[in-house]
Amino acid sequence: MSDREIRVGSSSAAGSPELVGERKLGAAPSHWLALLAIALAAVAADQLTKHLVARQLRLDDGVHVVGPLWIRHVQNSGIAFGLFSQATAVVIVLTGIAIAWMLFYFARSGARHPVLPVALGLVIGGSMSNLVDRVRLGYVTDFIDLRWWPAFNLADSFIVIGVLVLLGALMLAEREPRGPQRLRRDAPPRPS
C-alpha cells in the first residue's frame, strides 16, 4: 500500500488520461505538532480538573451546579459505566495498544484529512490521561454527574468528541463528489 494518493482523470481533448494531483498521506511535522499540542492540552485540562475535584471534594461528595449537572467525586477502576472494574491490568494493556494503533495510523494517514490531528489528538489525549491515572492510581477520577448518566470526566468527553469529529469527517469524505455537469450538444461551448 502506497502512502501517496493519485487521482487520474481525462483531459477535455481526446479523452487522454492526465495526472490531476499527487500528495503524501503520511503525517508531516506540522501534523505531528498539531496532534501533540491538542493531546497535551487535553491531558493538562483533564489532569487539572481531576486534581481540583479530588482536592476540594471528599470521595462521593458532590456539589449541585445547575439543572441536572452535579460535580461529584467518584473513583472508577473500570472503563465506561464501571465495566471491567476488576480487570485494571487488561484495561491498561488494551488502552496502550489502542494508543499505539492510533499513532501508527496517524503516521501513515495524518495528511489524509485536515481534522485528523484534532480528532485523534482529542482521542489520544483523553486516552493517555485516563491511562496515566490507571497506572499511577489504579482508577480514574470521574466528576461530571448528570444524574441520569454514569459520572465521567473531561478525558471521556474528549474521547467522545474526537470520535464524533472523526466519524463526521469520514462520513463527509465518503460522500460521492458531484461529477462535472454535461453540456447539451446544442449549448455553446464554455470559454476557457
Q: What is the pLDDT of residues 5-58, one digit of tens each?
A: 555 555 555 555 555 555 577 888 889 999 999 999 999 999 999 999 999 999
Residue 180 domain-assigned?
Answer: no
Which residue do the cell numbers 503520511 mark?
26
Radius of gyration of the chain (CA): 23
Residue 5 domain-assigned?
Answer: no
Q: Which of 46, 142, 145, 186 is catalytic?
A: 142
Residue 78 domain-assigned?
Answer: yes
Number of domains in the chain: 1
Q: How confident is the model at residue 61 (pLDDT cuts 50, 70, 90)?
A: very high
pLDDT at 15: 57
Range of the domain at 44: 27-174
H-run or E-run covering 10: strand 4-10
Residue 179 domain-assigned?
Answer: no
Query: Counting Cβ atoms within 10 Å, is residue 185 exposed (0-12), middle (13-18) or buried (19+)?
Result: exposed
Residue 137 domain-assigned?
Answer: yes
Q: Which of 46, 133, 145, 156 is catalytic?
A: 156
- CA dist list (Å): 10 to 7, 13, 16, 19, 181: 10, 8, 5, 8, 15
Residue 127 domain-assigned?
Answer: yes
Residue 186 domain-assigned?
Answer: no
Residue 148 domain-assigned?
Answer: yes
**156 annotated active-site:** yes
Joined together, the cell numbers standing for residue 142 give 470521574
pLDDT at 171: 84
Q: Report the alpha-carbon distance of residue 91 to residue 68 in Å, rounded.
A: 30
> Is residue 115's pLDDT more than 60?
yes
Query: Counting Cβ atoms within 10 Å, is residue 130 exposed (0-12), middle (13-18) or buried (19+)?
Result: buried
Backbone angles phi, psi at 18, to 5 degrees: -140, 150
